[in-house]
Chain A
Amino acid sequence: KHSLLLVVLLVSNMLLTKEGVTSLPICPNGSVNCQLSLEELFDRAVKLSHYIHFLSSEMFNEFDERYAQGRGFIAKAVNGCHTASLTTPEDKEQAQQIHHEDLLNLILGVLRSWNDPLVHLASEVQRIKEAPETILWKAVEIEEQNKRLLEGMEKIVGRVHSGEVGNDIYTPWEGLPSLQLADEDSRLFAFYNLLHCLRRDSHKIDNYLKVLKCRLIHDNNC
């Protein structure tokens, strides 16, 4: 029994301490009504977003190596992502000009829009023939971390936002049928596309959060 508990503890510690994501206490002092500083909230958010992007990037690379070689996916992978309808800043100028509250809302919108696809990704990727274990657990991990980041962002928004928290920024995802196609080539292409979009959007969010952090916390002097 003790050995099993120890193993569980070790495994959980291992998973939590990946790539800078440490298990930080919610309230360091242990008090009931504690509040983390905005800086602390941003630090955690940046760490999470970096971790999610790291996992997405690796997952995409593995999938590309394993399934996409020789299928000409790259040529076709210009298909838009479902979050393309959200007008997000495309360069530094735009990112610097947008108001931080709007940017925060956009971040929230993107995160919410990915909630659903991540859930289905984690479940559908297991049906891929001979899917490597690393892809499987990464999909599950990304989905979980995305939820945590969403919670954190809502906290930040609650702190920063003076007015109401807008819930209307949201894009539904309708790509589930394409993940369940009978034809293996089409199905794999759908996965490839989804993973490509995931990598891109996670990079976007990571960048926006760093910009916001430098702007709001460090006053543009990171």
Chain B
Amino acid sequence: MDLRHLLFTLALICANDSHSASDDLLQWPQISKCRSPEMETFSCYWTAGNFYNLTAPRIIQLLYKKSNEEDWKECPDYITSGQNSCYFNASYTSVWTPYCVQLASENEVFDKKCFSVDEIVLPDPPVHLNWTLLNTSQTGIHGDIQVRWDPPPTADVRKGWITLEYELQYKEVNETKWKELKPRLSTMVPLYSLKTARDYEIRIRSRQRTSEKFGEFSEILYVSFSQIGIGCDHCTDEVEFPWFLVVVFGVCGLAVTVISILLSKQPRLKMLIFPPVPVPKIKGIDPDLLKKGKLDEVNSILACHDNYKTQLYNDDLWVEFIELDIEDPDEKNRASDTDRLLSEEHLKSHGCLGAKDDDSGRASCCEPDIPETDFSASDTCDATSDSDQFKKATEKEEDLLCLDRQDNESLPSIANTDPQRRHRNTQSQNSHPWAPFADSIESPRLSVHTQMSNQNSLTSTDFYAQVSDITPAGRVVLSPGQKSKLGRAQHEGCTEQNFTMDNTYFCEADVKKCIAVTSPEENEPHVQEQSYNEDAYFTTESLTTTVANLGAPTAEPPSSEMPVADYTSIHIVHSPQGLVLNATALPVPDKEFNVSCGYVSTDQLNKIMP
């Protein structure tokens, strides 16, 4: 029911429309266009509408008037241009004169138009289209043709009365969209790269050069290569350049190349393309660690250096080792210096081994091949680290100086070395056992010195222990250099075994207390003597005093230890176990050594060291 209802309403509407159109509205005659094909004649066309059907037959007239005339004239020719048209031949045409035409019937004007002829020029289409083959491609798939035509015959181009422009359009036969060429003045145009396998259609239209509107199209020209016998029967498929494949393969190749470079083990190539970024590095110290304030890590680095005990921090990596050392009763009860030395060495090696081997500089410090004895072995640790050590040393009294325990302790051999061992002849060397140290450590030295001086008055102590021998097992045998007595040591004896084993340095004084406990003598004047030892911090004066005093103690019966020479020279180096010292009175059997006053310079050590 609904569908029928819909159809019925639709039918009503359509009937109404047609009915109203015919009854109410009279489609008036209208002038559709006026056109001049060659600027010599023109025609006007109109539509009659439904005029004839509705009203009584009346005749429609076209009247025209030139601008300089008063009267309307009737159209001279209704026939030539067809029905509902008016043709004005050359005699009636004035080109640049304004015209007005109107469509009228018995004084009823239907439509009116005003124009001038030069504005309504629409040329006829070109004629005589033809094409010729220019050439074909090597594969025979594409070809070039030249299309020629003649201007419309009505247009007088030869006398220059009208100038025409042409526009060519072409397309393949089965396509829908035409391709356009730019309008041009010439009557021939080449078409390039047409497919010989396909057929083409060409059409051309023209316009007056200064106008915008084109005339009608010409007849279509058919281009078929097979007619000339050039057609490529087997080239139906278009071979286009495989851009997609090229791109894909190019990307893959590039990726493979990059990956191979990354994974290649050729350091040269890798260095070339991915050069390593140098990391700023100070041997022994990583400045970043210092900045971050990770003292424990710094300590771990410095632990590699000789004779520096790490601080006891809760999160210290080597607390474990340190604690073991402390708690171990054997450590404390060891009677021999050798053992103590070795235990520290063990400690240090632990400390060193515990350090990571990275660029922070620790690795360079860890050279377990050289025993961390009093004399410096690691030249790689420079003075900077020494200064830091000393600064720390001053902070913690218990560390290096053993000042809280002993009175006359001096820093035992800062075997750590000053790589530039200088032979200084300073007056105050007695008070500074480290006279030839670098200036950088001036301040700690001074503070130490003050502490030293406070305690100097008490007793004289032996500052250094001497390595007398190295056991085959690799242990270093120490003995005190001189028969000097420790003032306090006599009293304290070896009972006081408060060796602070957490220090890298073992306190010589403690050792000597135990060793020289039986020696009754107290050698005041020997206070100043430095038992020289291989740690080569000597001063001339100390040497002289030592020499001077050498005689005295030798008269005494030696204590438990055997007499040792004042100087020892490095005879053999057992790598990595250590050094065998040749206890000769005078040094330099080996010409390499320029042992002046017992110094063994760093360079010489370097030569010796493996």
Contacts and interface: CB of A to CB of B under 8 A. Distances in A.
Nearest to A212: B160
Contact of B159 (A75, A88, A222): A222
14 contacts: A57-B210, A74-B114, A75-B114, A77-B114, A78-B67, A78-B100, A91-B95, A92-B90, A92-B156, A93-B90, A200-B118, A214-B158, A214-B159, A220-B159
Nearest to B67: A78
A75 B98 CA distance: 11
A65 to B, nearest CB: 13
A57 B39 CA distance: 18
B310 to A, nearest CB: 70
Contacts of A206: 210
Interface string A189-217: 00000000000100110110011011100
Contacts of B343: none
B72 interface: no
Contact of A95 (B90, B118, B161, B209): B161
Given A88-B96, A92-B161, A207-B161, 12 more contacts: A77-B98, A80-B67, A90-B97, A91-B90, A92-B40, A200-B118, A203-B96, A203-B118, A207-B160, A211-B161, A214-B160, A222-B158
A211 B209 CA distance: 15
A222 B96 contact: no
A100 interface: no
Nearest to B118: A203
Interface in B527-584: none
Interface in A106-149: none
B37 to A, nearest CB: 13
A142 B370 CA distance: 101
Interface string B17-59: 0000000000000000000000110000000000000000000
Interface string B75-109: 00000000000000010011111101000000000
A92 B156 CA distance: 9
7 nearest CB pairs, A to B: A214-B160, A210-B160, A90-B94, A78-B67, A211-B160, A222-B160, A92-B161
B218 interface: no
A97 interface: no
Contacts of B161: 92, 95, 207, 210-211
Nearest to A214: B160
A13 interface: no
Interface string A49-90: 010011001000000000000000011011010000000101
Contacts of A12: none
A96 interface: yes
Given A50-B209, A200-B116, A215 B67 contact: no
A90 B95 contact: yes
B446 interface: no
A50 B114 CA distance: 25
Nearest to A211: B160
A203 B118 CA distance: 8
A213 B93 CA distance: 24
Nearest to B208: A203
Contacts of A213: 160
A221 interface: yes
Contacts of A96: 159
Nearest to B100: A78
A215 B160 contact: yes
B224 interface: no
A91 B68 CA distance: 16
B136 interface: no
Contacts of A90: 94-97
B151 to A, nearest CB: 11
A185 to B, nearest CB: 20
Interface string A10-50: 00000000000000000000000000000000000000001
B488 to A, nearest CB: 92
A50 B210 CA distance: 8
Interface in B110-145: 114, 116, 118
A96 B114 CA distance: 27
A63 to B, nearest CB: 15
A210 to B, nearest CB: 4
A53 B210 contact: yes
A88 B40 CA distance: 16
Nearest to A53: B210
Contacts of B157: 222
A175 B317 CA distance: 107
B100 A92 contact: no
Contact of B163 (A93, A210, A220): A210
Nearest to A81: B96
Nearest to A92: B161
B539 to A, nearest CB: 78
Given A93-B90, A203-B118, A78 B98 contact: yes
B113 to A, nearest CB: 10
B209 to A, nearest CB: 7
Nearest to B94: A90
A88 B97 CA distance: 11
A92 B118 contact: no
B114 A78 contact: yes
Contacts of B93: 91
A78 B67 CA distance: 6
Interface in B201-235: 209-210
